[in-house]
Amino acid sequence: MNIVIFNSHTLLASHYETELEIIINHQEKGDKIVQLVCNKELPACDTNPFFHPEACEKCVSKREMGYTILKRNIEVKSFFNLTESDKKRIEEIPKSYSNITDLQKLKVDNFDIGFAISSSIISMLRDPTPVLEANLVKRYIVSSLGVYFSMVNYLKNNKTDIVYVFNGRLAQTKAVLRACNLLGVKCLLHERGNSHNFYSIFENTSIHDIKNTVKLIRRTWNEADAVEKIKVAERWFETRIGGKMENWYSFLENQVNKLPEDWNPLKTNILICNSSEDEFASLGDEWRNPFYKNQTDGIVKIIRDGAKLKNVHFYLRMHPHLKKVINEDVKTLNNLVYDNLTIIPSSSKISTYHLVKHADKTITFGSTIGVEATYMGKPSILAGKCFYYDLDASYVPNDHNHLMQLISQELSPKSREIALMCGYYFGTFGIRFKHYIPEDFANGAILGKRIIATIGLRYKLIKLIYHNSYFPKFSEYLLLRKRELVVNKYFPKE
């Protein structure tokens, strides 16, 4: 088979190691492998959005270090493959946008590039409504279109059975996915699996595809052993309730089982758990909130109208992942002042699960806390889109008024079996690593070797040239000139 692997996100924990795992597996099958790489040609990428040359050096160094573990060489090519016609199209596409909503409307052929670039920028800034820096947006558009058109050209001229790429929601990786979609080439997207010991593969779609995830949840549950699947699902839930996460950093460790000082068991206590809005703010129309502008808008309206309800008190649990995030949404929520509201800040050690256990109802906007509440036998109301949106794991209101009615009504918990179905999938999805042995979330060895970028003399010299504290203005000039030269590669010659 002819396998293409698009190299990206080399400096992020375990993703390059996953790529090497895939390469080794295909080498063992005797497949032909071509790796398409960036040889310092992208004017903006997710691990180097401002194009610092020393970061490019570090990325290339780590990638080349990975080749030293391979028993056989692979063919390595630059992804850059633009015609003059492609460059003219890149030049003609508008590159100035006043806000993220306008940027998300940008589409080129079948490529929803606006959502892809927005996703990268939002993730980088941890802000769902960021102020757009014009030059950054321009460089991302140029880079993303450069990857898209280059991949289309490669696939038209080279027989390819499978293309691998990471994630599929970001500026360059969605470009690869959409190029494959356009030409009908199988695209396999790799991501983390259910724990550090697993990675996952999704065919022609990303891990964020809600409809596909629902299908996978149902299928894995129906195909699993009747007794074993209950044990696995319960273990997944109990592990999380115990403050551990096996495929990501845990934000719930060291929390304590206590209630806020103003907790009154004689009142109807409603727990609201928000999520990190930036994690799903630009995933596409499938993830758009059905009746709120965003979760901040929803929370404000719920608290405001909830003030009219007698004997009801709201507890807003700010997600621990937002502890170091400062954006307008976080500021708005932290500054809410209502007699019927207690805000539990991100830094609080109060256990979220202890709150769920004692609350009368829990409202979420996509957090797994919603389905975990159902597992714990508590009524759960879902006010946003998420993977279990269509599974009847929570009460799903039709609109804001319906949600307020659900708050006022007596509710029985949803089916625990549906929650277990979700828990089983999230506790088992993925493929176990054969060659990569993780030590923890961020570290590990593949074929007995840790892949680490070399910070040698060349790296230090490049950093000295472009970040010289003795000659800062000259260094800045050189850096801006270097960026300009790279960007100009994507435009037609005058």
pLDDT reported for residue 122:
93
CA angle 396, 397, 398 (to 5 degrees): 120
Q: Tell me the mean pLDDT in the region 126-150.
A: 95
pLDDT reported for residue 245:
63
Q: Tell me the mean pLDDT in the region 35-47.
A: 97
Alpha-helix residue ranges (DSSP H) falling in 158-254: 171-183, 210-223, 228-241
In tens, the pLDDT along 221-233 reads 999 999 999 999 9
Whether residue 387 sits in one domain with residue 241: yes
Assign residue 373 the CATH number of its domain: 3.40.50.2000
Whether residue 456 sits in one domain with residue 420: no
174 located within any domain:
yes
Boundary-marking domain end, from 406, 426, 446: 426
Pairing of strands 198-203, 186-192: antiparallel
Output the six-digit token pair for 49.
């959005």
pLDDT reported for residue 105:
95
d(CA 166, CA 476): 32
Whether residue 151 sits in one domain with residue 243: no
pLDDT reported for residue 126:
87
Output the six-digit token pair for 132.
């757009």
Boundary-marking domain end, from 426, 444, 474: 426
CA angle 344, 336, 259 (to 5 degrees): 20
Boundary-marking domain end, from 404, 426, 448: 426
218 located within any domain:
no
Q: Tell me the mean pLDDT in the region 117-128.
A: 92
Q: Tell me the mean pLDDT in the region 51-77.
A: 95
Q: Tell me the mean pLDDT in the region 350-363.
A: 96
pLDDT at 373 over 90: yes
153 located within any domain:
yes
d(CA 217, CA 220): 6
Whether residue 454 sits in one domain with residue 420: no
220 located within any domain:
no
pLDDT band at 352 (very low <50, low <70, confident <90, very high): very high
In tens, the pLDDT along 233-281 reads 999 999 999 876 655 555 556 678 899 999 999 999 999 999 877 777 7
The crossing angle, in degrees rounded to 10, of helices 134-157 and 171-183 is 30
pLDDT at 320 over 80: yes
Nearest-CA neighbor of 229 among 479, 425, 478? 425
436 located within any domain:
yes
Q: 149-177 burial, b for 16+ CB within 10 Å, e for fewer?
A: bbbbbbbeeeebebbbbbbbbbbbbbbbb
Counted domains in the chain: 2
pLDDT reported for residue 280:
76
In tens, the pLDDT along 464-481 reads 999 999 999 999 999 999
pLDDT reported for residue 276:
78
Whether residue 233 sits in one domain with residue 301: yes
Whether residue 324 sits in one domain with residue 260: yes
pLDDT band at 455 (very low <50, low <70, confident <90, very high): confident
Q: Tell me the mean pLDDT in the region 365-391.
A: 95
Residue 127 near residue 97, CB atoms below 8 Å: no
DSSP result, 403-435: HHHHHHS--PPPPHHHHHHHHHHHTT-SEE-SS
d(CA 180, CA 290): 30
**Main-chain phi, psi angles of 225, to 5 degrees:** -65, 135
Q: Tell me the mean pLDDT in the region 126-142.
A: 94
pLDDT over 90, % of the chain:
85
361 located within any domain:
yes
Whether residue 238 sits in one domain with residue 196: no
Q: What is the mean pLDDT of the chain?
A: 93
Whether residue 437 sits in one domain with residue 322: no
pLDDT reported for residue 488:
96
Q: Tell me the mean pLDDT in the region 163-188.
A: 97
pLDDT reported for residue 252:
56
Q: Tell me the mean pLDDT in the region 293-308.
A: 94
217 located within any domain:
no
pLDDT reported for residue 173:
98
pLDDT at 321 over 90: no
Q: Classify burial at 101, counting beta carbons within 10 Å of its beta carbon; exposed 0-12, middle 13-18, buried 19 or more.
A: exposed
DSSP result, 52-81: -HHHHHHHHHHHHHHHTT-SS--EEEES--
Whether residue 248 sits in one domain with residue 380: yes
Tokens 């549906």, residue?
418
**Main-chain phi, psi angles of 330, to 5 degrees:** -65, -45
Residue 208 near residue 280, CB atoms below 8 Å: yes
- Expressed as residue numbers, the domain containing 194 is 2-210+432-488
137 located within any domain:
yes
Whether residue 144 sits in one domain with residue 64: yes
Whether residue 136 sits in one domain with residue 182: yes
Whether residue 236 sits in one domain with residue 173: no
pLDDT reported for residue 253:
60
pLDDT band at 369 (very low <50, low <70, confident <90, very high): very high
pLDDT reported for residue 284:
83
Other Cβ atoms within 10 Å of 128 Cβ, number: 21
Q: In what order do the strands lie in the sheet with 341-344?
A: 341-344, 312-317, 268-273, 361-364, 380-382
